[in-house]
Amino acid sequence: MNFKPKFTNFKKKVEESFQRQKFMELIHAKLIDVKPGYCEIQIPYNSTLTQQHGFFHAGIISTIADNAAGYAGFSLMEEDSSVLTVEFKLNLMSPGDGDLLIAKANVLKNGRTLTICRSEVFIRKNGVEKLCAASQTTLIELKNKSDK
């Protein structure tokens, strides 16, 4: 889908918001791409982010899916708005067994208050990407509320 942002500096607003998230820094997440209604975030493998089998923990997988969806939706919101997740559903389809976790999120519907997004989370191992999770997220736009 082709979405049009509501203001020209949407990408800078998303980048600045992402930089303020200390948890993203803690898990070494990187904001890779932001376009109107789209976001990609990646996390390199680190053993501190794993569960007992050495795979990326489901909590990390759900975090990256949620954040990518949030910023995909945020890219279409008003300049003076903030965003919060209202609900999300995550399906884990294969283990997060690889060297890079990649979340790609797209807006499905951009409403006046609620935005619906879909995230797909891939794991890269030996140069091959495999879908490991998918989620659907509902976001709320908090109008006239600073993201800072």
Average of per-residue pLDDT across 123-142: 97
Whole-angstrom distance, CA of residue 118 vs CA of residue 137: 6
Q: Which residue has the tokens 């794993």?
A: 50
130 and 123 Cβ atoms separated by less than 8 Å: yes
pLDDT in tens, 61-98: 999 999 999 999 999 999 999 999 999 999 999 999 99
pLDDT in tens, 4-22: 999 999 999 999 999 999 9
Nearest to 104 by CA among 64, 45, 148: 64
The verdict on pTM exceeding 0.75 is yes
Structure tokens that stand for 39 in this block? 């976001």
Average of per-residue pLDDT across 101-105: 98
Coil, strand or helix at 63: helix
Confidence band (pLDDT; 50, 70, 90) for 146? confident
**Measured CA angle at 16 (ends 116, 72), to 5 deg:** 15
Whole-angstrom distance, CA of residue 83 vs CA of residue 121: 21
pLDDT in tens, 25-60: 999 999 999 999 999 999 999 999 999 999 999 999
Structure tokens that stand for 2 in this block? 């082709």
Whole-angstrom distance, CA of residue 132 vs CA of residue 124: 10
